[in-house]
């Protein structure tokens, strides 16, 4: 029998939704290309001409990339990191010396002050040689102490912590708990006010960098009391504080060098001056930080795509089957075409989103989320196709290949390492829901009260009047547009005609908006339960965004005489592949097995099919599904191992 799990909190679906909704950034102060896309408005002017970085930004960025490349080639032994499941201390020391810990930190605090664009290029570069090192740098800067302090910290906090983060200290972000994942309403770690301090108690799980960190960003619940509004709150915590124990260093199927652990807090005293923002603002700070922080994952996914393309090209030209190179067999060639075209598109999505983040002209919360979702899914597919192209050698480890005299190509490691990106920083399923919520925000803003059972009849009547005005203006605009005019987007015709793809995007954006409206009309308040439908809506939007980015990037490269002809070919190939996927997704909006799947799931959970599980032996060992996270002192020796300590 499994032991019962202690300290389990019960939160209703409505309460969980209210917590998540309260953390959302509800106001749109700047335009959003992706938001408009989901509303059926193809605002090409928001992304074309492609935004460009300034000369000084490029100079500093390229100068650092050159140093980082030299360091990666000379100092990072990916095979050793995989073999020993550790990043050597001297590698981290070298990264500190380069300034890699402070790539995005302002020079006034000792950082390099790189743009988001070049920060992502650096992550793609270092992640290609070692995804574990990429994860170390990304977790430290994208979600660790530097980013939330940059956006929400006081001047005193910036002065105290940013110089350390820029040069010497590793940081980590602690939100997840053994029984709390993407549902923060059930957060159990507490921060009880005590004079000018807070006392932290609780357990955090999957603390990337937590084993080696010097500084932590910790999310904890402050109880509501006199003088304290309470709520989930963010704190900067010294990792070496009394009462903090790293109880376990986790091991995973991939990213074997990652320093990810379980951290227990027992009566840890944190100065009130180390609280980031007001009480109750922790989730909003976390989500706002992730708006751009999420771009680090697609950066490494784009780098992985480039590596997959390189290996696929070299191997399939060398390997012969039935009298001709492997690449010339259509079944293999289709895979290589997919890898090449998708790599081009992923870099296009990444560069466009990054530069928009740098310019701060557009709200990129949906673009960044789409980049993370699309990048993680497509990179995994590219790595899977590379393993298939390599055949048995793709499944064989690099160490084994080397031992028997062949090139040590870590294709299977790449597949394992990339798998986590579909889970990190919001799983694909959670990203679908997050993006879908933003995609239907305009509808809920005008008609939300109509489908809210808690609202009064007068509220519903008022919402009905507002909705009538909105839809009377909005729906007619979804009937016709520039996508129906053969002359539209003519500036994208240069040998290869990309204008036809942009016209498709414009037409399909309107079609997508109509489908979303039909779904809301059909299911109303039950719309949020139709996760299959919402996921396909989001996936269509992701494809349209990627198509737009690919075309805009191709035109930018053409105007700058940088492989323009080849870029147009890749953009054309990607758009044609994407259109096939889009049409399949539209077909599955209304023709699917969603209802039947729900019935089967009820049968599975009810035990109706346990007979199907007969005839096997389960090798799993006994134990609780979720570890006990009851607050209290630790009975274990700390596994904390700060670099150089």
Catalytic residues: 425
Q: What is the DSSP letter of 221?
A: E
What residues form DSSP beta bridges with 325?
Answer: 320
Instruction: State how far Cα 520 lies from the chain centre.
Output: 27
Which residues, 6 or more positions from 280, have their beta carbon under 8 angstroms from its beta carbon?
Answer: 222, 229, 230, 231, 232, 233
What residues form DSSP beta bridges with 192?
Answer: 199
What is the phi/psi pair of residue 538, to 5°? -65, -40
3-state secondary structure of 456: coil
Angstrom distance (rounded) from CA 50 to CA 45:
9
3-state secondary structure of 14: helix
CB-count exposure of residue 622 (10 Å: 0-12, 13-18, 19+): exposed
Strands 171-174 and 215-222: parallel
What is the phi/psi pair of residue 174, to 5°? -120, 105
What is the phi/psi pair of residue 431, to 5°? -60, -40
Residue reference for tokens 């996927």: 581
DSSP states of 632-643: S---S------T
Angstrom distance (rounded) from CA 315 to CA 389:
8
* Three-state secondary structure string covering 565-633: HHHHHHHHHHHHHHHHHHHHHHHHHHCCCHHHHHHHHHHHHCCCCHHHHCCCCCCCCCCCCCCCCCCCC
CA nearest 333: which of 318, 312, 347?
Answer: 312
Up-side HSE of residue 121: CA atoms within 13 Å toward CB?
A: 21
- Nearest-5° Cα angle at 486, 481 to 492: 100
Q: In 10 A of CB 605, how many CB atoms?
A: 9
**CA-based R_g, the chain, Å:** 25
- Nearest-5° Cα angle at 423, 417 to 426: 140
DSSP states of 497-549: E-HHHHHHHHHHHHHHHHHHHHHHHHHGGGGGG-HHHHHHHHHHHHHHHHHHH
Helices (H), 223-267: none
- Nearest-5° Cα angle at 44, 42 to 45: 125
Cβ–Cβ < 8 Å for 147, 291: no
The first and second tokens of residue 511, run together, are: 């079609």
The reply to whether omega before 49 is within 30° of 0 (cis) is yes
Angstrom distance (rounded) from CA 384 to CA 626:
31
Angstrom distance (rounded) from CA 474 to CA 306:
42
Angstrom distance (rounded) from CA 616 to CA 378:
34
């Amino acid at each position: 029998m499994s032991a019962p799990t202690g300290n389990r909190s019960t939160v209703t679906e409505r309460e969980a939704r209210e917590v998540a909704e309260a953390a959302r950034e509800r106001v749109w102060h700047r335009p959003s290309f992706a938001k408009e896309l989901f509303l059926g408005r193809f605002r090409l002017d928001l992304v074309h001409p492609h935004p460009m970085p300034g000369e000084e930004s490029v100079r500093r960025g390229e100068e650092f990339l050159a140093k980082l490349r030299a360091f990666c080639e000379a100092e990072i032994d990916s095979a050793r990191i995989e073999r020993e499941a550790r990043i050597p201390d001297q590698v981290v020391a070298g990264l500190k010396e380069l300034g890699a810990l402070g790539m995005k930190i302002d020079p006034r605090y000792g950082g390099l002050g790189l743009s988001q664009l070049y920060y992502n290029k650096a992550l793609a570069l270092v992640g290609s040689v070692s995804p574990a090192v990429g994860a170390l740098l990304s977790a430290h800067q994208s979600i660790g102490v530097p980013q939330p302090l940059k956006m929400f910290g006081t001047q005193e906090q910036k002065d105290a912590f940013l110089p350390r983060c820029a040069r010497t200290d590793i940081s980590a972000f602690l939100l997840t708990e053994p029984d709390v994942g993407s549902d923060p309403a059930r957060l159990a770690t507490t921060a009880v006010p005590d004079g000018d301090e807070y006392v932290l108690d609780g357990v955090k799980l999957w603390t990337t960098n937590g084993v080696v960190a010097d500084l932590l960003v910790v999310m904890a619940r402050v109880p509501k009391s006199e003088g304290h509004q309470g709520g989930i709150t963010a704190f900067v915590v010294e990792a070496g504080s009394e009462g903090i124990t790293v109880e376990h260093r986790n091991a995973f199927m991939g990213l074997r060098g990652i320093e990810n652990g379980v951290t227990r807090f027992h009566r840890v005293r944190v100065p009130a001056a180390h609280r980031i923002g007001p009480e109750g603002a922790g989730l909003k700070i976390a989500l706002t930080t992730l708006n751009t922080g999420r771009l680090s994952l697609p950066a490494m996914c784009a780098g992985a795509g480039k590596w997959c393309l390189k290996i696929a090209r070299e191997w399939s030209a060398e390997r012969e089957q039935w009298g001709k190179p492997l690449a010339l067999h259509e079944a293999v060639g289709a895979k290589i075409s997919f890898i090449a075209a998708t790599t081009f598109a992923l870099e296009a999505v990444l560069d466009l989103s990054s530069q928009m983040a740098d310019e701060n002209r557009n709200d990129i919360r949906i673009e960044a989320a789409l980049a993370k979702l699309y990048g993680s899914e497509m990179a995994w597919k590219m790595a899977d196709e590379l393993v298939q192209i390599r055949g048995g050698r793709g499944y064989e480890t690099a160490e084994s290949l080397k031992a028997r005299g062949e090139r040590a190509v870590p294709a299977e490691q790449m597949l394992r390492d990339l798998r986590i990106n579909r889970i990190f920083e919001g799983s694909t399923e959670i990203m679908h829901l997050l993006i879908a919520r933003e995609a239907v925000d305009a509808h809920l803003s005008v008609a939300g009260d109509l489908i809210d059972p808690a609202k009064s009849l007068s509220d519903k009547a008022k919402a009905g009047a507002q909705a009538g005005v909105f839809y009377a203006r909005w729906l007619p605009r979804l009937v016709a547009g520039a996508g129906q005019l053969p002359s539209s987007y003519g500036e994208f015709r240069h040998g290869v005609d990309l204008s036809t793809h942009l016209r498709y995007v414009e037409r399909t954006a309107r079609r997508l908006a109509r489908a979303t409206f039909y779904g809301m009309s059909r299911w109303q308040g039950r719309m949020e339960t139709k996760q299959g439908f919402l996921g396909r809506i989001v996936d269509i939007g992701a494809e349209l965004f990627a198509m737009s980015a690919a075309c805009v990037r191709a035109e930018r490269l053409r105007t700058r005489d940088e492989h323009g002809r080849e870029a147009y070919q890749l953009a054309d190939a990607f758009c044609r592949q994407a259109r096939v996927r889009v049409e399949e997704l539209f077909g599955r909006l209304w023709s699917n097995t969603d209802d039947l799947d729900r019935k089967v799931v009820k049968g599975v959970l009810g035990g109706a099919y346990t007979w199907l599980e007969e005839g096997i032996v389960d090798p799993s060992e006994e134990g609780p599904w979720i570890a006990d996270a009851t607050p209290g002192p630790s009975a274990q020796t700390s596994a904390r191992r700060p670099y150089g300590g």
